[in-house]
Chains A and B, each alone.
Chain A
Amino acid sequence: MAETHSLQDLRQAAVASKVFVQRDYTSGTICKFQTKFPAELESRIDKQQFEETMQTLNNLYAEAEKLGGRSYLEGCLACLTAYTIFLCMETHYEKVLKKIAKYIQEQNEKIYAPLGLLLTDPIERGLRVVEITIFEDRSIGSR
């Protein structure tokens, strides 16, 4: 209960600043975010926790973009139907994106909102950044 209340409370809180976690291109063009812990969050959240969140996100995106039997099957089937199945069917990538959205919401409710932080789903920023909004500390109890 306390968590859901704090997420709603955040809507009225004042935004102190925003931190942007950029993409990590060292593995090529796949969607992967840097796991380096930003300095601005040091006072707010545990480094371990943050890195775990980012790593899970990266793993989920890797799953979406994985080249495997399933994606090849989907691609070949689409090609044979002149790609018209994309109009009717939800692609594997979209399914994983929904999973990611759920995961981020869950993380926000359980971990980040009580600490006065809010993660924005990267898809809303064009998969460029993970935007973390830091709200003003309204004397929320320490963890």
Chain B
Amino acid sequence: MMKNREYQQIDPQALATPTPTPPPRPLPDHKPKRARRKWEVFPGKNRFYCDGRIIVARQSGVLPLTLGLILLTSGLFFVFDCPFLVRHLTSCIPAIGGVLFVFVIISLFQTSFTDPGILPRATPEEAADIEKQIDNPTGSSSSYRPPPRTKEVIINQQVVKLKYCFTCKIFRPPRTSHCSLCDNCVERFDHHCPWVGNCVGKRNYRFFYTFIVSLSFLTAFIFGCVTTHLALRSQGGNGLVFALQASPARYPFIFDLVVCFFSVWSILGLSGFHTYLVAANLTTNEDIKGSWSGKSGNEDVGNPYSYNSMIKNCCSVLCGPMPPSLIDRRGFVPSDDSVQTSPVEIELPAAKNDINMCTHGTKGLLETASRSPLLTSSCPQAKPQAAPAVLEPLPEITPSPALEPPKIAGGRQSTNTSHKHHSHHRSKGKQASHHTHKTANSSPRPHHSHSSRRKDSKNRDPKFSSLR
């Protein structure tokens, strides 16, 4: 509403003043005083720190809790157990503990702060090109919502369906999934882990694996040390209970014992599960959905990405080349080519934009030619896609919470603006929340049965966190 009024107010000025001097209102918007970096106009629901060097999900989830538990448990271990054990056993104990602790913390930060493999959204021209290719064969009219689009491709003698992502306006590559919490398509999507506060995907899966493996070693190590400590103390006195009562550090003991006891089982179980996934070159997403396990009588299904050798699978997943980040967070938004990311266009209605393009003759034929034939068809799509890119609040975004139907049940925090464009694409919304529903509804795996029953906060199993 406000925009229409602004448009009418400026219009007479534009008509009154001739072309050489453009209306003062758009001028500061079209020529920002400083070049913006791409992370500032990023359309997904991520947060950035250190000028784009660090990326996290919108909700940091339980990351502070994870960090706090690790620091507290390890701290108590170093303070209360290490001195005793160094005296009675060996001084290697704090050294080993220290190395494990450093590994855990570093890999946790790398998992949380690394781009998991986010696919940047399609530029308007790309989206228009894909739309053309889809609409041409079927010749569908625009009067009804088109069915969900899929494309089939044969990989290694398997038929793989590529789905069209309505948010990102691309056909998702194989193994890519759209995370509704982060509102991004992530390559080789494994799962969204609230414990680390980020998605786990192609680029940070090795960090995640290192984290859970080193954490299992650390918790097992601390558990062993604390038990040894108690055992040694109770040898001298009248047993365990007396040793506990007499010791000034009984609460740290109990805390460490309890935390480590529950953590060891759940984290070891998780590490075992992910080791199986790595050896089979599967993702949690595929495993839960049963994509390659021969469901519904399809006997010939097998994993087309597996090298059929455990060693080669492990090497390719964990030691393969590190792919680059595709979103180029710290790159500068090109000031000429404002088609993709400039928030300026969003603040003005599309028609007004064209008028300004015409008055701004010096902007270059390059832009006008690229805009007029191609954007007229993609503008309605570009607007809802580009709207969340603006970091300042806009009237277009504020109604979205009202529009948002409660799609995701089961304990996840409500997502706000992402469902704005999901509201008229229900199938996409279902697909987006499909994996979260799946994680909520899937039955526990055999070696996770004990961890899934644990309802206390010590359980670090990320897959079943949505049950809480």
Measuring CB to CB, which residues of chain A are less than 8 angstroms from any residue of chain B? 11-18, 20, 22-23, 25-29, 64-67, 71-72, 74-76, 78-79, 82-84, 86, 91-94, 97, 123-129, 131, 136
Shortest Cβ distance from residue B330 to the other chain A in the assembled complex, whole angstroms: 14
A11 to B305, CA, bound (A): 43
B271 sits at the interface (CB 8 A): no
A128 touches B119 (CB 8 A): yes
- By a CB distance below 8 angstroms, the chain A residues around B316 are 67
B231 sits at the interface (CB 8 A): no
Question: A23 and B322 in contact (CB under 8 A), knowing A83-B106, A126-B327?
Answer: no
Pairs across A and B, CB under 8 Å, 16 listed: A11-B366, A13-B366, A15-B366, A20-B130, A26-B155, A67-B312, A71-B319, A74-B322, A75-B206, A75-B319, A79-B206, A79-B318, A93-B323, A125-B120, A126-B326, A129-B126
Q: Specify which of A16, A67, A78, A126 is in contact with B322 (CB 8 Å cutoff).
A: A78
Q: Specify which of A17, A84, A94, A128 is in contact with B122 (CB 8 Å cutoff).
A: A128
A126 touches B106 (CB 8 A): no
B153 touches A25 (CB 8 A): yes
Question: A125 and B110 in contact (CB under 8 A), knowing A76-B319, A79-B318?
Answer: no
Select from chain A the residue with minimum beta-carbon distance to B307: A67
- By a CB distance below 8 angstroms, the chain A residues around B174 are 25, 28-29
Q: Tell me the dominant secondary structure on chain A's binding face.
A: mixed
Give the most central of A27, A29, A86: most B CB within 10 Å.
A29
- By a CB distance below 8 angstroms, the chain B residues around A125 are 120, 123, 126
Known pairs A71-B320, A75-B206; list 12 more (Cβ under 8 Å): A11-B366, A14-B365, A16-B369, A17-B374, A22-B171, A29-B174, A29-B187, A75-B321, A79-B206, A86-B322, A123-B324, A123-B328
Q: Specify which of A12, A13, A126 is in contact with B120 (CB 8 Å cutoff).
A: A126
A97 to B322, CA, bound (A): 12
B170 touches A128 (CB 8 A): yes
A18 to B312, CA, bound (A): 40
B364 touches A28 (CB 8 A): no
Q: Mark B156-186, 1 if CB is under 8 A from A, else 0.
A: 1000101000000011011100000000000
- By a CB distance below 8 angstroms, the chain A residues around B120 are 125-126, 128
Question: A65 and B326 in contact (CB under 8 A), knowing A128-B119, A128-B170?
Answer: no
Question: A29 and B175 in contact (CB under 8 A), knowing A18-B374, A82-B102, A126-B120?
Answer: yes
A91 touches B321 (CB 8 A): yes
Select from chain B the residue with minimum beta-carbon distance to A122: B326
A92 to B199, CA, bound (A): 25
- By a CB distance below 8 angstroms, the chain B residues around A136 are 369
- By a CB distance below 8 angstroms, the chain A residues around B110 are 82-83
B304 sits at the interface (CB 8 A): yes
Select from chain B the residue with minimum beta-carbon distance to A10: B366
A16 to B368, CA, bound (A): 11
Question: A94 and B304 in contact (CB under 8 A), knowing A25-B160, A72-B319, A128-B119?
Answer: no
- By a CB distance below 8 angstroms, the chain B residues around A16 are 369
B326 touches A83 (CB 8 A): no
B29 sits at the interface (CB 8 A): no
Within 8 A of A (CB), among B105-155: 106-107, 110, 119-120, 122-123, 125-126, 129-130, 153-155
A84 to B207, CA, bound (A): 11
- By a CB distance below 8 angstroms, the chain B residues around A92 are 321
Q: Specify which of A11, A82, A124 is in contact with B107 (CB 8 Å cutoff).
A: A82
Shortest Cβ distance from residue B302 to the other chain A in the assembled complex, whole angstroms: 13
